[in-house]
Amino acid sequence: MSNRPSDIRDLLSRRTVRVGLEGSTKDEVIHALVQMLEGLPEVRDFEAVKRAVVDREAVMSTGVGKGLALPHGKTSAVTETVAAFAVTKDPVDWGAIDSEPVRLVFLLVGTEAAKSQHIKILSRVSRLMNREEFRNRLLAAETEEGIVAVFEEGDLELADG
């Protein structure tokens, strides 16, 4: 990982991003996002990663409003923090705090030891997603490369601002 471990762009690649992700329920979308992490060298136990995210979601919905969900979990099944992001094909009822359906979903899975990094990344994602213009750029992106580029620009905007 780079020397800016809280930069979102260091966690996302074309492989861990999807445009038009299928799934009509929260569980289907979470499963599809976790599936994107399978095979990454940092993931030791795919099923344990999925369980950590599903268990965390059962505690409280990660639908944070404005069409965004931030499912996340901490587990020893990863050796370092991993992430995936998707724009869903259709809006998904996530039980969000504003009761709005979700189309932007950022999955974050980290180790128990990396709690402060985990919080920093969730905070960065939230700050970016609070910007309507940023959310609109993600929703308008037509390719995985386009999504990665929007996050790269967003990271730079946060660094400048």
123-155 pLDDT, tens digit per residue, is 999 999 999 999 999 999 999 999 999 999 998
Residue 117's pLDDT band, with cuts at 50, 70 and 90, is confident
- Which residue has tokens 């795919």? 46
- What secondary structure does DSSP assign to 25-48, as a single string? SHHHHHHHHHHHHTT-TTBS-HHH
**Is-contact 107 84, C-beta < 8 A?**
yes
pTM: 0.93
Residue 114 has pLDDT above 90, yes or no: no
pLDDT of residue 65: 93
Residue 20 has pLDDT above 60, yes or no: yes
Q: Which CATH number applies to 8-160?
A: 3.40.930.10
pLDDT, tens digit, for every residue of 77-94?
999 999 999 999 999 999
The CB density around residue 33, as the number of other CB atoms within 10 Å, is: 26
pLDDT, tens digit, for every residue of 47-66?
999 999 999 999 999 999 99
C-alpha distances (whole Å) from 26 to each of 6, 23, 74, 152 are: 26, 8, 19, 27
Distance between CA 69 and CA 36 in Å, rounded? Answer: 17
